[in-house]
Chains A and B, each alone.
Chain A
Amino acid sequence: MTEHPASASRPGVPLWAQIMIWSGLLGLLIMIGIGLARAQQGTIQRGDRVPGNLTLSLYQGYEYNGQSQVRFDALRGKVVLVNFWASWCKPCEQEAAELQQAWESYQSSGQVVFLGVDYVDTEPEARIYLKKFNITFPNGPDLGTRLAQRFRIKGVPETYILDRNGVVQYVKVGPFQSAQEIQMIIDQILLRP
């Protein structure tokens, strides 16, 4: 049987174009997959180590030992409470006074550090908030939401308590109900070597 001459000259999709199209689709699927996996990861969990190279810039008047920024690896050897908050966040107000009260009970011991991380906020409003609740522990903006991304926070308020080795020992999503609740958790972590 003779093949029709027209079929030989009909243009098809060139091989390079096919490779490009399929590579593009595969890349797109991989990106969607990674995105979905990240979205389902949730916040960092108990037992996760917080990278030591993380840095928090601090507001003037809310420095740590006179320094305008603090690196997490400089805090090794101390129990660290990291509280994510924002001035526009109403539930954050419920725990603000409790956090300050708990901080005052540990401040002199030098074994515990409280860090307030101001999440996507404006500095003038943040200062009004800090003044309103008489907060004195180190606080600063989460520049570029870098800390929020590393802790994979889902909202504010969220609090993470790290042991002396920088390992997460407690995660609180939502506000604390009392200063005693905070102290009870920190005291348990302080008992560990």
Chain B
Amino acid sequence: MTKRGFSIAVLLAILLLGVLAFFQPRQVTLAQGGTPTDDEVNRIARQLYCPVCENTPLDVCPTEACRQWRELIRQMLAEGKSEAEIKQYFVEYYGARVLSEPPRQGFNWIVYVLPPLMILAGVVLLFRTLRSWVKPAAVDEQEVEQLSADPLVRKLEEDLRRREK
């Protein structure tokens, strides 16, 4: 395998691993009865954003409204609702904007597709640029020979050599 082929293979392998890691389903852990702990509540709360504050995850939001929402999560966990069901309830009530990760549908796909595409384009550009720096452009030997045969060029080269002496 050539050096270039090896670089492309490594690049593709990294990209493939990134894509697989990105789309891997999340592990869902359910409350097993009793009163759900703060950790269990916060594990879900940190995946949701306060619907009335600017960019504040629910687990660290200090407002009264957020406290109510965390209690609601606790109540739903105690009722045996799954993480997906709780998130679905929040989406239904407060809109998809409460999710820390927008659902993969419709216009939202831009968020998932555009950044990897731009990174890929950046990698390709960087690769091409670096290659042009490291490897000098090939010299057309036939053209060099033709130029050397030109009496004017030969005279010019002789003059230059004489000057250097």
Contacts and interface: CB of A to CB of B under 8 A. Distances in A.
Interface of A: 2, 5-7, 9-11, 13, 17, 20-21, 24, 86-88, 120-122, 124-125, 141, 143-146
A13 B125 contact: yes
B92 A120 contact: no
Given A5-B139, A120-B65, A143 B93 contact: yes
Contacts of B27: none
20 contacts: A5-B137, A6-B136, A7-B137, A10-B137, A11-B131, A11-B132, A13-B125, A17-B125, A86-B65, A88-B64, A120-B52, A122-B72, A124-B72, A141-B93, A143-B93, A144-B91, A144-B92, A145-B51, A145-B97, A146-B95
Contacts of B139: 5-6
Contacts of B95: 144-146
Contacts of A121: 65, 68
A144 B99 CA distance: 12
B125 A144 contact: no
Given A24-B114, A88-B64, A120-B65, A17 B140 contact: no
Interface residues of B, number: 32
A88 B65 contact: yes
Contacts, number: 62
**Chain B CB within 10 Å, residue with most, of A21, A86, A145:** A145
Interface of B: 51-52, 63-65, 68-69, 71-72, 75, 91-97, 114, 118, 121, 124-125, 128, 131-132, 136-140, 143, 147
A144 B96 CA distance: 7
B68 A88 contact: yes
B148 to A, nearest CB: 12
Contacts of A122: 68-69, 71-72
B121 A21 contact: yes
Given A10-B137, A24-B114, A120-B51, A5 B143 contact: yes
A6 B51 contact: no
B65 A144 contact: no
Given A88-B68, A145-B51, A120 B94 contact: yes
A5 B137 CA distance: 8
A143 B121 CA distance: 40
A54 to B, nearest CB: 15
Q: Which of B64, B68, B96, B132 has the most chain A CB within a 10 Å cutoff?
A: B68
B132 A2 contact: no
A2 B97 CA distance: 62
A24 B118 contact: yes
A20 B72 CA distance: 46
A78 to B, nearest CB: 28
B137 A9 contact: yes
Contacts of A145: 51, 94-95, 97
B34 to A, nearest CB: 20
A149 to B, nearest CB: 8
A17 B121 CA distance: 8
Contacts of B68: 87-88, 121-122, 125
A5 B140 contact: yes
B65 A9 contact: no
Nearest to B147: A2
Contacts of A124: 72, 75
A65 B136 CA distance: 83
